[in-house]
Structure 1
Amino acid sequence: MNFVQPIRDQEIIDGIKIHLKETNPRNYILFVVGIYTGLRISDILQLKVGDVKKDRISLRETKTQKLKSMAIHPKLKAILKSYLVDKQDHEYLIKSRKGKNKPIKREMAYKILRAVADEFDLESIGCHTMRKTFGYHFHKQTNNSEMLREIFNHSDVSITRKYIGVEQDTIDEAIFKLKI
């Protein structure tokens, strides 16, 4: 398994959003749900339209089986509102073109993100990149590792900091400041 990184550069994130919005609305929704919620890809793919019409997303995490409830960011709410206009509550949010009402598979989500990575010349990108991007920017803006640990259901803050790449950023900054 490759170790994926968050997307640290806000301009690249904005470019990806514009690109996906113009080329494929479903893929755009996949990306923005990922970066605004920090949910695992397995949980994003199980979301149905009715799950995101409220002010909160409530679900049982696929990996941990823990119940999770989170507020929907106002920007994400606005994006979803226009996307959901002609969709019914029972439909999957990230719907496959194959079958009547099935979500895309994890492998397809990976292909979508790899295509984005190629388009924007990014390395170390995969399905966890969206979750890590959420975590990285949440941490940078709040400097609250403990709250992020709680959001991610990690057992220790050090795991969270390593997961989102801030430990490596701190090490890199220290190396660059070194005077010999």
Structure 2
Amino acid sequence: MEFVEPIRDRNKIAAMKKLLAGSPRDHLLFIIGINTAYRVSDLLSMRYSDVMDSNGKLFPHFKLRETKTKKNSKVSMSKGVQKALTDYIKDNYKGNPDDYLFQSRKRDKDGNSQPINRKSAWRIIQEAAEQLGEKNIGSHSLRKTFAYHAYQNGTDIVLLQDMLNHSSPSVTLRYIGITQDEKDRVVQALDL
């Protein structure tokens, strides 16, 4: 896999949302991805039962066991995520809570739904970004975009480090590209 960047420009985020709106599944993947610190593997493992109860009421939080770290994670659903989920469920839920949220057209041998794979998720995000003239954007950019904008919005780096399960704040800063951004600002501001 290539090194990917966060989507730093909020206008590009809005344009990506608009571009992906033609596919409700892909749009929801993008919305949840940029509003949580989840890896794409965790997003793709989500089932309807992970986001709503048996009466169709959304949970206030995502509660997942993260694939890579095996840690339990609880992430609040923002209003935008709740709206996107509500709209998606209304039009796509077929009554089986064990169905994957981000379904592929493929079924297993018993006819059960299968999620899209990581390569498909990467392609979805990468192709949409390319249409907007963005390079070095892929499915992992969703997680980085969340962290980048949370940091820019004043979230403490130690809290982000914990949310991303990183070993140190410096790893988190490097991960979201802040260190290079700050170095660039120093050079540009000095301009001797």
The answer to whether TM tops 0.5 is yes
1:77 paired to 2:82: yes
The equivalent position to 1:129 in structure 2, one of 119, 141, 157, is: 141
**Partner residue of 1:90?**
98
Equivalent position SS for 1:154: coil
Stretches of structure 2 that go unaligned for 5 or more consecutive residues are 53-58
Equivalent position SS for 2:100: coil
**Partner residue of 2:4?**
4
Corresponding pairs, count: 179
Amino acid in structure 2 at the alignment position of 1:160: T
**Partner residue of 1:116?**
128
Shift in Å at residue 161 of structure 1?
0.7
**Partner residue of 2:156?**
144
Cα deviation digits, residues 18-76 of structure 1 (max 9, x gap) = 1111x211100110010011210000000001212211111111111111111111210
Structure with higher helix content: 1
TM-score, normalised via structure 2 length: 0.90
Shift in Å at residue 179 of structure 1?
3.0
Question: 1:112, 1:179 → 2: CA distance?
Answer: 40
**Partner residue of 1:35?**
34
TM-score, normalised via structure 1 length: 0.95
After TM superposition, the runs of 4+ consecutive aligned structure 1 residues lying more than 4 A away are none
**Partner residue of 1:16?**
16
Question: 1:75, 1:125 → 2: CA distance?
Answer: 22
Cα deviation digits, residues 77-118 of structure 1 (max 9, x gap) = 111011112413211111001214000000100110121121
Shift in Å at residue 178 of structure 1?
2.0
1:107 paired to 2:119: yes
Identical-pair percentage: 36
Question: 1:179, 1:72 → 2: CA distance?
Answer: 43
CA contact (8 A) 2:16 2:129 kept: no
Amino acid in structure 2 at the alignment position of 1:67: N
Alpha-carbon RMSD: 1.1
Equivalent position SS for 2:87: helix
